[in-house]
Structure formats: structure tokens, C-alpha cells
Structure 1
């Protein structure tokens, strides 16, 4: 058995290769994991912390775009697609865990490149939300004219946050250290969903905006306040990519697995199923009540609607800060697999070095800050990244790897499932990507 381990398990501790039967390889993997964690003075992350870490990797900016997706697919159409993507995400993790003993998931350069692009896109989308929404959230707590102040400038705040919070957390040597921040992020997401439910009855429909002297109506038709069960338009092309983006956690599976207490594939699958099920529940509730609040006037980024129709509402202002903090805490978590992929591509033959670790973390921070500053609309990030790298990581690569590496007969249920996953990913990814590009050209 060949294994590669370094001083930081988040960096080098989850590359395993073996050419042995599955059971014996798994039996040898457990003591290796235990020894590595023992050298770092830890018994591993608990089941609960592992669920929180994985949920933090799953849930981020995607929750803000799903109400817009529901408006363009209908309640039942959205529910069916969201459940389908969640089941596919869980099954693809199952295939990944089945193969992780036999090969390194990040070994092929093309996979590492896909993970780098996916995670950079995800992190930049989170920072884009911070840059856009944090100044507005702060301004709602202030009275008087503060225009031109540095604390209301999105780019300045973004730089301060990245230097003071994101960079130090991303420098941590082990992903298990983020269990506390991940649990905090989870409760912020739950609070966000609860506030969306409560505030549904605070915004009347037809929608009205308050001008200086009077209310004026945005929507004049009561028909605009009736939910649709199924709805399809050119904007529906963003549905599956946004959902794929919202459930993408595969790049964090192996780092979390390697730091799990009593690690086994069954235990890690239970962590995954629990995290995906809880994420699905929160996603659906937030999307449903966000849609039932704004209907077809829902924004591509949900928080904008509350800023427009409920300015200076204390609960809304508080939940904005909470969701922004939750999104912010997701960024350091996604740094781990992105940095690992970069090290696999460029520094795979070098021992772990804090200098290299720090420089790569700094480079990733600079790239995502620049993207967050210059990308105009978060929907573009959801669409392009979701249709390309997210579908590859959820659909294409797990199916492809299983077909290539498994010794089972092709007509076995797992191999047929992997084949369907592969073909579905190629078709869905190419079709939705083509529709999105066509939509851009048309506009």
C-alpha cells in the first residue's frame, strides 16, 4: 500500500492510493488516519462537527439564488429538481468513497484544475455577496448622510475582511479546526430561513415600494400573487446549474473524511447523507417562502428584495449580517481543497512547507478578491460555474472514475448507475451551458 502523509492532514493527509481489495485497504486506512491525528494531538473531528463542516461546504451563496430559481421553475418543478440533484450528489459521494481507497481523487491534472476553478468561483461568489450587501447592511443601522465613508465602500470592506478574517482562518493547518465556525454558520442559515418564513407576511402583495411621499405599487395584478406549480422560461436554464452549485461539497469530502473520528466509509456516508438532507430542507424552505414573498419579482440575489421592500427593519438587518457572516465563514473552508489541488499540480513532489502553504493561500485570496470586485452579477457565477465545473464534480468525474477503476461487471447496478451519472452530467452540463451562453448573446 502506498500512502502520502504530511504534517498537515488537510494538505497532504488525504491522498491515498492502493491496489488491494477494498476491505483490506479500508482496514489499513483507519490506523494510518489515527496515527496522523495522534501526531497532531487530536482524536479527530466528531460526527456532529463533521456534519457541520460538510454543511458549511454545501451551504453558502447558493441559498440566496434558489428563490429566483423557484420563480422560474414553479414550486413542484423546483422541488423535483432540487430533490433529484440532492440524491445525485449523495450517490456521487458514495461512488467517490468507494474509490477513494484505490486512487487519489486529485491525481489527474484535469480534475485538480476543475476543483480549482470550481472553488475559486464559489469563493468569489461569496465575497461578491459580502462586497454588495455588507455596505447596505451597515448603512441601514446608521442615520444621517454617511456617503463617501470608507465603512460604506464595498471594496474597502472586502479587503479588510479578507485580510483580517478569511486569510487567518484559511491558514489553519487542519480543516477540523473550523468545526466551531461551521456550527455557527449552520445556525445562522437556520435563522435566515426562519426570518424568511416570518417576513413573508410583512410584505404585502401586490408589492409596494415607499417613496418620499406615498406608496406606489410595483405590481398591479393580483394574478402576480398566485404561485405557479410548473413554470419554464429561458431563465430556467439557470436552475440545474444553480442547484448543482448549491450542493457541491465533493472537494471537501476527503479532507473531512481523513479527520473524522473512527473513520470508515459507512460513517462518512452517514455524515454526507445527514448534511445533504439538512441542507435540502433549509434550501427548500428558504426558496419557498422567498418565492411566496416576491413571486415573479424575486431578485436573483434574495437579500436585495428585503433591502428594497423592508428598509430599516431590525430583524431583516440582523439576519442580513448573520447570513453575510455565515457566507463569509464558508470561504476559509473551501480554501482547503482548492489549495490542496494547487499543491497537487505544482508541488506534489515537495514536502509540506509553511512558506508554500502561506504563499498559495495568499495567492488564492488575491484571485478571489479580484474576481469579487470585477464580476457584475452573481447569477453569472452560479450559471457558468454550475454548468461546467459543478456538473463535472457531481456528475461526470465520480461516474467516470468508478467505471474506470471498479472491477465489477458492467451490468452491475453500481456501474450502470455510474454510467447514467456520467451521461446525465455531460448532457445536462453542455445543454445548460449552451442555453446560458445563448442568453448572454441575446442580451
Structure 2
């Protein structure tokens, strides 16, 4: 299943890069519209915005989980008391902390018209994922023997096949990068297709290794009791995992503006084109539109995050929609 999915994932990236090169477009939705026509282009834009929006929700849910665990960790480290004795105050609620994070960090980073700094900060995400994988693997081998959860025996039959196919949305969520790949390809200095193929293959194999090791050793450590967010399965006082939470939180904060930029452009560009037909598009109008769309995007995703705290439910939706951009739309080219 993983090998077959990896073939489709890499093929989709290569097809999108090739389509971008022959069409001369630098965004995913523009490539689809140019190659497949206006009707498919409109469908793509709707799915594109919806998918990016749900991805934003998923990212904020992950950040909220880490904020909650960080608050508990700091309380245990400072007071030496267990989590059960931690008093509740409104200003210590992770939802309030998430609101402050969105207000003072995520929103200001998402407002600019171009976010060129992301080409450097994105390295942090790779480092955070690698650190987490190494930490989970080391933690597994350092555990006392009597604490190790034995994995269940292999099962066969209809239930095992159903469970195997049920993880496809999660795989799509983990490997999704197709929404931004056209923009990435367009920003490259060397746009030879062979160079893009090498980048696609290497990137997907790195993801495969990181995800596989994290999933295997995380499951071997906690068994069926593992949380949807693996970091939530570790104790709050674990310094190694506190560092992992901080790294992941910072990396998501730097990645979130990219998602907003991609989704906002799909909505803003038609508005600017429509405005341009009747009058000149001033810088102030573009700025007001950009700020308004960014405000609405961050606000609505924050509200949904507060009321949908289960990351597994969000991932199942994101993974299902991501299949359009990984398997379906590239095949139409």
C-alpha cells in the first residue's frame, strides 16, 4: 500500500511540474485551468481553497495540543506537582494561548503579500520531524523491558483490508505537498524536468523514512493506546519531548502563512481581476482586500479549532480532499 501510494505521489509531482513548464503558469489552480479548461479549473479552485482551509485548521489543532501539553509541562517542572493538581485559570487555557499566538504571531506573518522568508524557515520543519523521529526511536529502545507494549499478532480478513484502506486519508495528509509544488517548481532556478524528478523522489523518500520510523516505533511504544498526535502520548515532564513540541510549534507557525497565502490568492485574484475591469486596482484596495481575507481566514480557522479539538477527525477530512490534488487532478493532465 505504501509503495503504491509513493509511486502515485511522485508521479503526481512530476506531472504537475511538467504541466507547469508547458503551460507557463506558476500556481496549481492556474495550471489546472490552463490545461483542463475553465470548468475543471473552477472545480479545482473550490477544492483547493477548501483543502487549504482544512489544512489550516489541522495545523492549529496540532498547535493547540502542543500548547496544552507545554502548559502542563511547565507547571510540573516549576511546582513539582502532578497534572491532576493543576488549577484552572482562564488565562492558562490553551485556547486563550492559541488566540494570543494567532493575534501576535500567525496573523502578522500571514498578512504580507509575499512571504519570501519561508524558503529559509521551512528547513525548521524538516529538522523538527527528524528530531522527533530520532527521539521516538531512542525512547523506545531506552524503555525498561517490562514497560514495552507487545504488538498484536497479524490479522487477516475483511477487517484488516478495511483498516488498511482507512489509513489512506492519513497517508495523503502526511505526504501532501502537491498544492504548493507548482509554486515551488516555478520559483526554482533550474527548472529542468530531470532535476525536478530527482527533487520529488528524494523528498518523498525522506518523508517515507521519517513517517515510517515514527509510526512504527510510536506504535511499538504505546500500542493501541497511542494518541492521534504522538507527542500527546508522552509525559509532560519529558524534556526531550518538550523540545520536540517547541520545534513543531515554531515550524507550524512558520508554515501556516504559506497555506494562507496559497488559499488567499485563489480568492483575491478573481476579485482583483473583476475590479480591474471597471477601474484601476490601487495599492490600498489590494492591501485592504488582503488584510480582510487574512483576518477572515485566521479567525474562522481559530473558531473551528476551538470546537473541533480532535486532530484525527480533521486529518480524515484533509486526507480525503487531498486525494483530489494527489491522484485525480494530475491524472486529468
* TM-score relative to the length of structure 1: 0.63
1:336–1:266 distance in 2 versus 1, CA, 3 Å: farther
> 5 Å matches for 1:267-286?
267-286=195-214
Displacement after TM superposition at 1:195 (Å): 0.6
Structure 2 match to 1:7: none
Equivalence map 1:15-26=2 (5 Å): none
C-alpha displacement at 1:227, in angstroms? 5.5
Displaced runs of 4+ in structure 1, greater than 6 A? none
* CA RMSD, Structure 1 to Structure 2 (Å): 2.5
| 1:368 to 1:260, Cα distance in 2 relative to 1, 3 A | same
> Any conservation in 2 of the 1:135–1:154 contact (CA below 8 Å)?
yes
Distance in structure 2 (CA, Å) of the matches to 1:391 and 1:270: 23
The reply on whether 1:96 has 2:1 as its aligned counterpart is no
Match of 1:174 in 2: 114
Pick aligned residue for 2:260 from 326, 335, 344: 335
- Consecutive unaligned residues in structure 2, runs of 5 or more: 34-40, 80-84
Larger helix share, 1 or 2: 2
| Residue of structure 2 in register with 1:399 after alignment | 331
Describe the shift of the 1:135–1:300 C-alpha distance in structure 2 as closer, same or farther (beyond 3 A).
closer
Equivalent position of 1:287 in the other structure? 215
Q: CA deviation at 1:201?
A: 3.0
Does residue 189 of the first structure (1) align with residue 120 of the second (2)? Answer: no
Task: Tell me how far 1:193 sits from its aligned partner.
Answer: 0.9
Shift of the alpha carbon at 1:261?
2.1
Contact 1:176 1:259 in 2 (8 A): no
| SS at structure 1 position matched to 2:331 | helix
User: What TM-score comes out, normalization by structure 2 length?
Assistant: 0.82
Matches within 5 A, 1:25-424: 81-100=1-20, 101-102=22-23, 104-105=30-31, 107=33, 108-142=41-75, 143-144=78-79, 147-150=87-90, 152-204=92-144, 207=147, 225-226=150-151, 228=153, 232=160, 235-307=163-235, 311-349=236-274, 350=276, 351=281, 353-387=286-320, 389-400=321-332, 402=333
CA 191–255 in structure 1, closer or farther in 2 if over 3 Å, else same: same
**What SS does structure 1 have at the residue aligned with 2:123?**
helix
* SS of residue paired to 2:116: helix
Q: Residues of 2 paired with 1:172 and 1:192: CA distance?
A: 31
- What is the DSSP-based 3-state SS (H/G/I as helix, E as strand, rest coil) of the residue aligned with 1:176? coil
Deviation at 1:340, TM superposition (A): 1.7
Q: Cα distance, 1:293 vs. partner? A: 0.8
